[in-house]
A and B are shown apart, each in its own frame.
Chain A
C-alpha cells in the first residue's frame, strides 16, 4: 500500500483517462464493452480515492511531480482541499455515468460522447489535484477543450451557437488566467500551493503587480465560475444533453472556477496578503451582486433548465462570497457549499432531464400534475429545490447556516440580508414549480410521452441517480456532525488552512 501512495494522484487521473481513450477507439455498436469500461473506470477511481482519503485523513500528504517548465514542475498533490473536490467529482461521476448511459440509449455518436465525458472528468480531477498554478492552468485549459464537444454534442444550430459562445468565453478566460499565472511566475516562480499563500513577502514591494495578478486570476476563473459580467455562456450552454448540463453545473466547469478561486485566495495569496492588498471587498460585492442578479433573472425563465442555469449562477457565487469573507467559519460554509450545491444541483438537473426524456416536458408550464405521473422524480426535485432555498434538514441549510455565521463573524451583517433575500428569491422561483408539480391537475396531454419502463415511472438508469443524490442531500444535511460528512471534512480543511502560523 505505502509503495502505491506517491503514485495515487496520477493513478486517479489515469483511471478515467485511459478508459476514455480506449472508448474513443470503440465502434458505436460495442455497447457492452463501453459500459464495462466506464464502470470499471469509476470503480477503480473510487478505490484509489478511498485509499488517498485514508492517507490524507491520517495527516499524510501525497505528492507526485514531473519536470515540466523551468521553475514549475508538473505537480500533483493530494491534500484535504483537493480531496474534497476529488471525492465530489468521483461520486457524482458515478451517478452521471449511469444516468448518461440510460439517457443516451439508442442515440448516435455515443463513443465520442463517453470518450469526452471521461476526459472531462480526468481534467476535473487533475485540476483538483494540481499542486501549483502552472499545473492548474494546464488542466483548466484541458477542461475547456474536453467540455466543448459535449456542449456541441447534439449538433443542432442552437447547440453550435451555444458552444461557440462557450468557447469564446472560456478561452478568453483561459488567456486572462494565463497572463495572471505568468505574471506571478515572473515575480516568484510557481512554488507549490501552501496554506497561507506564498506571496506575503512580495506585498510590500510589488503591491500594484500583485493586485493586477489577482484581478487577472479572478477574471479568468470568474468566467467558469460565472461571476457577474462573465456569466453569459452558462444559460446558453444548457442546450447540452441533460447529463452534460448536470455535470457542467454541479462539478466540472462551474465548480472548477469556484475551486480555483478558493485555491488562489487561500493557497496562492493567503488571507493575510489579500487583506493587505485590499482586494477582498470588491470580490465580495461582486459575488453578492451575482447572487442576487442570478436569482432575479431565474424568476422570469420559463424553461426548466434555463431557470436552473440562472440558479447556478447565483448559488456558485455563495462559494465565492464565502471565500471573499476571509473568515474561518465563512470558509467552512464556502467549502461545504461547493459540495452541497453540486449534489443538489445535479439532482435538479437529473430530474429536469427525466421530465424531458420521459414526457417531453421542457417548459415549467407543462409540469402541471406531473407529481402523479412521476412521483419519485418529483420527490427528488422537491428535495433539491428545498435544499436550494436552504430549508432544513437538507444540505443547503447547513451551508447557508455556516455562511451566515461567517458573515456575522467578520462583522458583515448585511451579507445575512443578502442570504435572506436570495433565499426569498429562491423560494419564489422554486416553490411555484413544486406547487405545479404536486397541487395542480394535468390540463394538456404530455408533449412526448415515452414508455421507458414497464413497472417504474421511467428507465431505472434515469431514476436511480436522482434518488441517490437526493438521499445524499438529506443525509449530508441531517448527519452533518458525523465524521464522514462534508461538513466535518470542510472543518478539517479550514483547520489546516488557517493554522499555518
Chain B
C-alpha cells in the first residue's frame, strides 16, 4: 500500500489490499484494454478523436483510482473524476439525442455525487475524523447514512428505480464507451457500497431483506423493460439494469452471510459475477457497435452467441457458474412476504434469456443494411473478451467448483430449461405482444420531459425578485414619499 497521508490528506493511501479489490481491478483493467483496442479502429475517422481519448483516459484513471483507494477521499476523487468525465463520452457524438441524454446523465451524476458527499461527511464525522477504510469498518452506521450511500452510489450503479439515465446514455455513447460504462463504470456503485458499508453492522442487517427485494425487482424490471425496446444498445442497457439487480442481490447475500460463511469466498463470488458481466456485456456492446456499420462474419456471430449464451447461463459458460453460486448463496436469504427465492431466480433467468434472445434477433435484423466486413482490430477486441469469458469459469479454481456443480443433472436441467423455453417463447409468442410492449417502451420519454423541466427551472431567463427602491432626496422635500421612491432597476 502506498501511504500518501503526509502529502494529500489524512489517511490517504492507495493499494490493492483485499482480494475483492485485486479481482475488481483486474477485470476492469482487462475490459478497458479491450475497449481501447476497439476504439483504435472505431474512432479512427472521428473528427473529435483527441477529445475522445482525453475523456476516455480521465474515466479510466478515475475508475482505477476508486478501486485502488484505501480511504474515502481517494475513492471520492476517483468517483467524481470518472462520473464527470463520462459526461463528455455520452455527449460525444453531439447529436440531439446525445445532448438530451448527456444533460440527464449530468443532472443525475451531480446529484449522486453530492448525496455521496453528504454520506461521506456524516461517516467521517462518526469516525472521529478518520478517513481510511480500516477504521471505518468498526464505526456503526445509521439509517440516514445508509440511505444516502444507497442513493448516491445507486444513481451510479443504476439499479431500479435509480436507473433513469442508464438506458438513455448507453445507446448514444460510442460503442467502446458504452462497453466500459456498462461493464466497468456502473459497477463502481456496487463496489462503493461494499467499500463503505461494513458487513457486520447491526443497522445494515435490518436493511438486507429490503435490499434483496430491491435487487430482485430491478432484475425483473430490467429484463421486462428490455423487451419493450428495439434498439440493440437500449436492450443491452436495460439488461444491465437487470444484471445490476443481481449484483445487488449477491452483495446483500454476502453481507448476510458475513458471519457464517467465510466473507472472502462470498466476496470472490461477487467479483466473479461482476467480471462475468463486464466481459459479456462489454463484448455485446462492442458487437452492437460493429453491427450498426458492418456485416457480421461467422466469427462475429459466434462471438455474439458465446457472450449472449453466457449471459443466459448456459451450462459450461461463466454465467452458469455465477448463477449457480448466486442460487447457493441466496438460498439462506429471507425476503419480506416471500418464502423461497429459488423459483424467483428461475423466473428471472427466463426473463433474462428472453431479453437476450430479443437482443440477438434485433442485432440480426440490423445486419440487413450493412455490407462491409468488420475490421480486424474490432474483431480482436471482441475475441479477447470472448476468450476471457470462456476461460473465466475453468481457469479460476473457485469458479470451477460451481461450474462442475452446474453440470449435475438436476442443476443442468434447471439452467437449460429457461434458455430453451425463452427461445421457444420468443420465437412463437413474442410477435403477439411486440407492439403493445413497444408502445409501453415509448412511455419512457417522460424522463426527458422531467429533465427539460428541471433545466428550465435552473436556467431561468427571469426570476421573481423583490422590488428595490431608491430615494430621490430632492423630490422628497417637494413631492412627498410616494413620488420620491423610485423603482431601482438593477
Contacts and interface: CB of A to CB of B under 8 A. Distances in A.
Answer yes or no: are A and B bound together in one complex. Answer: yes
Interface of A: 232, 235-236, 296-297, 299-300, 302, 329, 386, 389-393, 398, 400-401, 404-405, 407-409, 413, 416-417, 419-420, 423-425, 427-429, 431-432, 438-439, 478-482
B6 interface: yes
Contact of B125 (A409, A417, A425): A409
B24 interface: no
Given A299-B459, A413-B122, 17 more contacts: A297-B463, A299-B460, A300-B461, A391-B84, A392-B81, A405-B121, A405-B124, A405-B125, A420-B114, A420-B117, A423-B114, A427-B110, A429-B458, A438-B88, A439-B91, A480-B9, A482-B7
Interface string B64-103: 0000000001001100110010001001001000000000
Contact of A299 (B115, B463, B468): B463
A313 B126 CA distance: 31
A300 B114 contact: no
B474 interface: no
A161 to B, nearest CB: 10
A409 B121 CA distance: 10
A235 B468 CA distance: 13
B365 interface: no
A212 B461 CA distance: 41
A15 B81 CA distance: 43
B41 interface: no
Contacts of A439: 88, 91, 94
Contacts of B94: 439
Contacts of B472: none
Interface string B40-78: 000000000000000000000000000000000100110
Given A236-B490, A408-B125, A417 B114 contact: no
22 contacts: A232-B468, A236-B490, A299-B459, A299-B463, A300-B462, A302-B461, A389-B110, A392-B73, A392-B81, A400-B117, A401-B117, A404-B121, A405-B124, A408-B125, A423-B110, A424-B110, A425-B458, A428-B459, A431-B110, A438-B88, A481-B5, A481-B9
Contacts of A408: 121-122, 124-126
Contact of A417 (B6, B80, B118, B490): B118
B125 A481 contact: no
List the 3 closest A-B pairs by CB distance, nearest first. Answer: A408-B125, A404-B121, A428-B458
B12 interface: yes
Contacts of B73: 392, 401
Nearest to A306: B490
A476 B118 CA distance: 22
Q: Which interface residue of A302, A408, A439 has the most chain B CB atoms within 10 A?
A: A439
A424 B112 CA distance: 10
A220 to B, nearest CB: 21
Given A416-B122, A424-B111, A427-B110, A405 B129 contact: yes
Contacts of A479: 7-8
Nearest to B92: A439
A481 to B, nearest CB: 5
A432 B77 contact: no
Interface in B431-471: 458-463, 465, 468
B106 interface: yes
A408 B119 CA distance: 11
Nearest to B78: A392
Contacts of A235: 490
Contacts of B144: 413
B10 interface: yes
A375 to B, nearest CB: 11
Which of A392, A405, A432, A438 is the most central at the interface, judged by chain B CB atoms within 10 Å of its CB?
A392
Q: Tell which of B10, B76, B468 has the most Cβ of chain A within 10 Å.
A: B76
A391 B9 contact: no
Given A417-B118, A424-B111, A424-B114, A431 B490 contact: no
Given A299-B460, A429-B458, A481-B9, A393 B121 contact: no
B465 to A, nearest CB: 8
B8 A480 contact: yes
B94 to A, nearest CB: 7
Given A236-B490, A409-B125, A481-B5, A390 B117 contact: yes
Contacts of A407: 121
Contacts of B84: 386, 391
A303 B184 CA distance: 40
B215 to A, nearest CB: 27
Nearest to B83: A391
B459 A416 contact: no
Contacts of A386: 84
Give the residue among B114, B124, B460 with the most A Cβ atoms within 10 A: B114
Contacts of B113: 391
Contacts of A404: 117-118, 121
A389 B117 CA distance: 12
Contacts of B458: 299, 425, 428-429
A416 B8 contact: no
A438 B113 CA distance: 22
B50 to A, nearest CB: 11
Contacts of B5: 481
Contact of B460 (A300, A389, A419, A438): A300
Which of B81, B113, B129 gathers most chain A CB within 10 Å? B113
A247 B91 CA distance: 36
Contacts of B106: 431
Contacts of A431: 106, 110
A430 B5 CA distance: 31
A481 B6 contact: yes
B232 to A, nearest CB: 26
Interface string B1-43: 0000111111010000000000000000000000000000000
Interface string B106-148: 1000110111011001101110010000000000000010000
A408 B81 CA distance: 26
Nearest to A371: B51
Given A431-B110, A482-B7, A393 B77 contact: yes
Contacts of A427: 110
Contacts of A425: 458
A480 B121 CA distance: 17
Nearest to B103: A435
Nearest to A301: B463
B74 to A, nearest CB: 9
Interface in B284-327: none
A479 B459 CA distance: 35
Contacts of A429: 458-459
Contact of B76 (A296, A392, A419): A392
Contacts of B77: 392-393
A432 B459 contact: yes
A302 B390 CA distance: 56
A420 B129 contact: no
A420 B118 contact: yes
Nearest to A417: B118
A392 B80 contact: yes
Given A300-B462, A300-B463, A427-B110, A481 B10 contact: yes
